[in-house]
Amino acid sequence: MSVRTHHPEPSLSFSDKELFDLAIAWLTLSVAFALLFAPIHRFELSVSYFALMVGLCFVTVGVAFLLHELAHKVVAIEYGQLAEFRADYQMLFLAIMSALIGFIFAAPGAVYHRGRITKRENAMIALAGPITNHLLALMFLPLMLFPGILGVIGQMGVWINLFLAAFNMIPFGPLDGKSVYDWHKGVFALVFVPSVLLAGYVVLFVGLF
């Protein structure tokens, strides 16, 4: 997710506050996805299985989330923006709570960017995140051919990245889709429709295991 504000001087650097927020969001999202995939109310699931799921989510969600936000930051800097990620602690709490009831509201924060910018440039910054998730899903796809843990990582990587791409393309509030929709409805449809169809397919017909 990216949110526009205003001011100067771009560079690809990370403040201590930004690194802290990225780490908290990464860890919280990993736990939230683990709760979604291994619900704690299913008593047949062991503590060790849940711990394994947290570890797998830490890897797969970490790649999906961190590169999504980094893509926003890099493109924003290319457009002369000062850009930095900030976690939204209320949304992180909501991610955990929603995962407990079988859905995940994955809006852990945003890359806030400042500086003079056009609507098109703002939309390109927004698109960078979901497009990155689609590319990552393609990269995880071959791992699904392998047996055992590699196959599970591949399946989770595809599932999580396609879910995040579709979720972030919803044209609502601070989500990426809103910036794209406001700029060009045709481009929005071109990305949103395939994102939703692919995410729907993996959620409904591929599953995780």
Cα 154 to Cα 85: distance, rounded to the nearest angstrom: 27
Question: Domain count of the chain?
Answer: 1
Question: Is residue 145 one of the residues assigned to a domain?
Answer: yes
In a domain, 124, yes or no: yes
Q: What is the pTM of this model?
A: 0.89
Is position 28 within any domain?
yes
Yes or no: say if 115 and 10 are a contact pair by the CB < 8 Å rule: yes
Q: pLDDT: is 209 or 149 the higher one?
A: 149
103 Cβ neighbours under 8 A, 6+ residues apart: 36
**Residue (of 132, 109, 102) closest to 24 by Cα position:** 109
Tell me what the pLDDT averaged over the chain comes to. 89
Neighbours of 41 (CB within 10 A): 9
3 domain-assigned: no
Q: What per-residue confidence (pLDDT) applies to 176?
A: 95
10, part of any domain: no
Sign of CA dihedral 113, 118, 120, 121: negative
Asked whether residue 161 is assigned to any structural domain, the reply reads yes
Q: Mean pLDDT throughout 136-150? A: 93
Q: Between 7 and 18, where is the model more confident?
A: 18
The answer to the question of residue 100 being in a domain is yes
The pLDDT, as a whole number, for residue 42 is 61
Residue of 69, 78, 84, 121 marked catalytic: 69
Residue 10 confidence class, pLDDT cut points 50, 70, 90: low
Residue 69 a catalytic site member: yes
* pLDDT at position 8: 47
C-alpha distances in Å from residue 92, one per residue of 31, 71, 89, 104, 120: 10, 21, 5, 10, 29
What six digits make up the tokens of 72? 């926003």
**Picking from 4-8, 56-60, 127-131, which range would have the lowest pLDDT averaged per residue?**
4-8
Note the pLDDT of residue 9: 54
Query: Is 111 inside a domain boundary?
Result: yes
Residue 27 sits in which domain range?
A: 16-206
